[in-house]
Structure 1
Amino acid sequence: MIRALFFDLDGTLLTSRKTLADSTRTALQQCQKQGIGLFLATARAPLLDKMLGWTEAEFRLFDGGIYCNGACEKLHGQTHYIFLPAPLVTRCVQTVNPIPALHLALQLQEERHAFNHPLAAVLMGSGESPCSPLSRWKLRLSVRPLKS
């Protein structure tokens, strides 16, 4: 008996237009009717309303999820983050800083983010030419603030 299913978003549940197909919605609803728990497992942050334009209709399809490559859990309406220690994050930032082609995205508390380059440069690339695959690579880390 299947009790729960976990789904990746990009390349699995989402179409090439980053939406849920009607057939996917129907299949998920059928699973719900059978009492199967549905969960997301994604590298994305849980801001799917902002990132994908999700409404309550999409969120209602899922019982929770694992986000940020496992650094965030959502279950029963509660969100829990597992943050990396500040010294480790500092070391990562110091390692990435000398390499201009690497873009670092830090997941912070309260759904905030920090980037080592302006976000427009990360998304659009530098100058007139499109980004190379290396320049679009992002490292996502969770960070907790340094204690005062």
Structure 2
Amino acid sequence: MRTLWITALAVFALDQITKVLVVQVAGLAYRGSIDVLPPWLNFRMAWNQGVNFGLLAGDGDLTRWILIAVALAISAWVLIWLRRDRAGRWALVSGGLLVGGAIGNVVDRLIYGAVADFLNMSCCGIDNPYAFNVADISIFAGAVGLILFTGREKAR
């Protein structure tokens, strides 16, 4: 489980540091957008009150607290599951990615009332209107990793 905790802490720290640097220090919250390597990488400020792509977004505090509770419940379930099943190294890394990202987004909801999304990538004439953050990438990678690296029982 040590691998999971180290991964989760690293993801959480990277997520929060990038948000502070881009949103606060670089002033993205006030500027709205910063072209970094257009069109491939841009910073576009988006306050996401829902889940992916703004789904379930609501202006009420109830939605925010429900999403916080869901993220914490899923994180707790992953921790219990991986501990109970004595998961391998890559499953623990995957769990750490998911838990660290989820806690990063929970902290955003507690501090800002919404998740700070800022990474925007486009390519090849396709203009991507969506923004995401390090936590979102980690949650996605962790979920894929859990699918790939768990559930295979060894032959007895």
Normalised to the residue count of structure 2, the TM-score between the two structures is: 0.25
Hey, which of these two has a bigger chunk of helix by percent?
2
Larger radius of gyration: 1
Normalised to the residue count of structure 1, the TM-score between the two structures is: 0.26
